[in-house]
Amino acid sequence: MKQIMFIALLAASAAAAAATPQQLMQTYTELAARQAPGYQPSARRGAELYSRRFAVSDKMPACTACHTDSPVQPGQHAVTGKAIKPLAPRAEAARFSDPAKTEKWFRRNCTEVLGRECSAAEKADFVQFLAEGL
């Protein structure tokens, strides 16, 4: 059910073609508030998630393994060495402008780094931190 609602919300935002990080954050916030009424996104919690060492994966123990300690800096893929553009939309405008792409990378990278999918609340916090900083 949760999944269906999310897909509906995603489809609604995808219909508007490109999204802004703020719109994505709004979508995640609405979803999170359904599970925890009164939920508000927090850049501080997002920053904590960004820098926390989960150590589930050897080569990718934290987001910072590829994206560096600062999301406004360019990164490097921890396995392949490929250059990665900054993750923060403050530094790289195209970030978090495509809902389907955002969801794909949350699914892949949360599974890799945290060992599980991220919750809507975690995603809202994360986008808040990357879009607006602390």
Partner 1 sequence: MRTAKLSLLAVALILSTAARADRLPLPADAPPSFKAECGSCHLPYPPALLTAPDWKRVMARLDKHYGDNASLDEKTRRELEDFLVRHASARSRMAGEGDPPRLTASAWFRREHRQVPQALWRDARVKSASNCTACHSRAEQGSYRGREIALPELRD
List residues near partner 1 by CB under 8 A.
59-60, 76-77, 79-83, 108, 111-112
Residue whose CB is less far from partner 1, 34 or 108: 108
| Closest distance to partner 1 from the beta carbon of 27 (Å) | 21
* C-alpha–C-alpha distance, residues 87 and 109, integer Å: 13
Nearer to partner 1 by Cβ, of 34 and 107: the residue is 107
User: Minimum distance between the CB of residue 57 and partner 1, rounded to whole angstroms?
Assistant: 8
Nearer CB in complex with partner 1: 42/57: 57
| DSSP tag of 56 | S
- Residue number, 44 or 108, with CB nearest to partner 1: 108
Distances (CA, A) of 66 to 4, 85, 100, 116: 32, 10, 21, 18
CB of 105 or CB of 132, closer to partner 1:
105
For residue 120, what are its two tokens? 């809507």
**Rounded to the nearest whole angstrom, what is the least distance from the CB of residue 65 to partner 1 in the complex?**
12
Which DSSP category does 46 fall into? H
How far apart (Å, rounded) are the C-alpha atoms in residues 71 and 69? 7
Least Å distance, CB 104 to partner 1, is 9
Where b means 16+ CB within 10 Å and e means fewer, 58-72 reads eebebbbbbbbeebe
Query: CB of residue 83 vs partner 1: minimum separation in angstroms?
Result: 8
